[in-house]
Amino acid sequence: MARIPRSAVGDMVYHVLNRANGREKIFQKQKDYEAFEKILFEAKEKYPMRILSYCIMPNHWHFVLYPKNGEDLSNFMRWITHTHTQRYHAHYKTIGCGHVYQGRFKSFLVEKDNHFLQVCRYVERNSLRAGLTEKAQDWKWSSLWIRENGNEEQKKLLAKWPVEMPDGYLEWVNTLDKNEEDKLEKIHYSIKRGRPYGNENWIKNIAEKLNLISTLIPRGRPKKGT
């Protein structure tokens, strides 16, 4: 599982993901989602995290985060995961019955350009891609819903993007993009390997700077004759 490098730095964008243990459903009813969002508000009060986008799905969640300092990311995510696990077990009376999450969260760095927009679109399109809604903005447990329908208090959860939101963004989220499968494959690879997501030169430079070269090397045995 990809880990945040110990040399993680602030003012960089991260996509963060975690799944339920065994991919079991951990958000079974509306109050489960509400309880998790309450934890987000509490975490934001404790740690100065900029939340750019997120989507809470029945058995996993995605965040796009913009920490100010290098240690903020791990502190923020550790508190959320630990607090949610404790409250989940207490509510469902499952203390001592195993893990809620499959392990430590996965993450990858995102370049602050069009690649950032693609990752936010990927996150906020999750419910539509999974067939949970007909329009992505109708999924209440997401940043897209908050931006489109949330009240002022809810909107305080979200921070300003480091990249300007393009005109027609909502339509873009709800429409299949050109080369959709190819872009999905690249994002999924970054999730799996922790590989930075951006232009090739940026990926190479940031991988060298943060000791992430191993994430650029494909796994498996080399092909014969190479």
- Domain residue ranges of the chain, discontinuous segments joined by +: 13-216
Q: The whole model's pTM is what?
A: 0.91
The residues, any chain, with a CB within 8 Å of residue 118's CB and separated by 6 or more, are 183, 187, 197
State the pLDDT at residue 48.
Answer: 87
Top pLDDT among 24 and 185 is at: 185
**Tens of pLDDT, residues 76-96:** 999 999 999 999 999 888 766
Ramachandran angles phi, psi of 24, nearest 5°: -70, 160
Domain topology for 13-216: Alpha-Beta Plaits (3.30.70)
Residue 164, token pair as written in the block: 């300007």
C-alpha distances out from residue 21 to 29, 76, 100, 125, 154, Å: 18, 20, 5, 23, 29
CA atoms within 13 A on the CB side of 171: 3
CA atoms within 13 A on the CB side of 173: 30
d(C-alpha 207, C-alpha 210), whole Å: 5
Whether the CB-CB separation of 23 and 130 falls below 8 Å is answered with no
CA dihedral 154, 115, 139, 182 (to 10 degrees): -170
Average pLDDT over residues 127-144: 97
Whether the CB-CB separation of 199 and 115 falls below 8 Å is answered with yes
The residues, any chain, with a CB within 8 Å of residue 3's CB and separated by 6 or more, are 104, 194
State the pLDDT at residue 7.
Answer: 52
**Tens of pLDDT, residues 144-199:** 999 999 999 999 999 999 999 999 999 999 999 889 999 999 999 999 999 999 99
Confidence check: pLDDT of 224 > 90: no
Confidence check: pLDDT of 2 > 60: no
